[in-house]
């Protein structure tokens, strides 16, 4: 709603104070120069001596944008750190599960090696199991994350943007965690001595 300034001051504000002035610069004009010109003009109009500080503030929108960008960058870094810790914890959990699996299936591994299975075949078997385990966890996480995001955006009244590329990257990361943290248990299984494995109780 647009009203005359005098009417606003008399009927709504109750005073003649001007709390803010918005200035729009022309295209391709240096905003730093515009800001300096405004500061100089305000000091003249408000009769501020050369040795006195400004009793007003001039803010450039670029400063606000830079501040918001910096805040977003910090939040992104914090979320990345939380995600990295989550991946590390999940990877350690997968490694522990696979180590327990190798221990419980020592005789099975020994039997396979004794009847001619190659080390790389045993290695691949346990790597595939680790990847399947981590990929299943990744799929569950994607479903829960997308559902929570959809509910959150619906509650906040903002649009929900689905980007398939992000989902694919998340799934690839979950599979990569299975490969990285499942390699040590798989290598341990592949290098078991068949005789000792068959004797295992």
* pLDDT classification of 201: cutoffs 50, 70, 90: low
Question: Is 157 in a helix, a strand, or coil?
Answer: coil
pLDDT at residue 180 greater than cutoff 90: no
Reference 82, options 27, 74, 194, 176; nearest CA is: 74
Residue 150's pLDDT is what? 87
- How many CB atoms lie under 10 A from the CB of residue 31? 13
Over range 8-20, report the average pLDDT.
Answer: 81
């Amino acid at each position: 709603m647009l009203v005359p300034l005098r009417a606003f001051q008399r009927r709504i504000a109750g005073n003649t104070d001007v709390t803010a002035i918005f200035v729009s610069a022309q295209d391709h004009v240096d905003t730093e120069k515009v800001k300096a010109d405004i500061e100089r003009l305000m000091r003249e109009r408000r009769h501020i001596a050369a040795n006195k500080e400004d009793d007003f503030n001039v803010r450039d929108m670029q400063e606000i944008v830079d501040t918001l960008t910096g805040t977003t960058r910090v939040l992104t870094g914090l979320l990345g750190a939380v995600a990295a810790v989550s991946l590390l914890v999940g990877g350690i959990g997968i490694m522990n599960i696979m180590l327990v699996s190798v221990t419980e299936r020592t005789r099975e591994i020994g039997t396979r090696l004794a009847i001619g299975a190659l080390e790389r075949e045993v290695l691949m078997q346990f790597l595939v199991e680790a990847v399947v385990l981590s990929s299943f966890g990744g799929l569950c996480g994607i479903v829960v994350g997308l559902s929570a995001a959809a509910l959150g955006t619906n509650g906040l009244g903002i649009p929900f943007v689905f980007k398939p590329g992000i989902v694919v990257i998340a799934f690839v990361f979950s599979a990569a965690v299975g490969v990285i943290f499942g390699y040590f248990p798989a290598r341990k299984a592949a290098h078991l001595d068949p005789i000792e494995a068959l004797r295992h109780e």
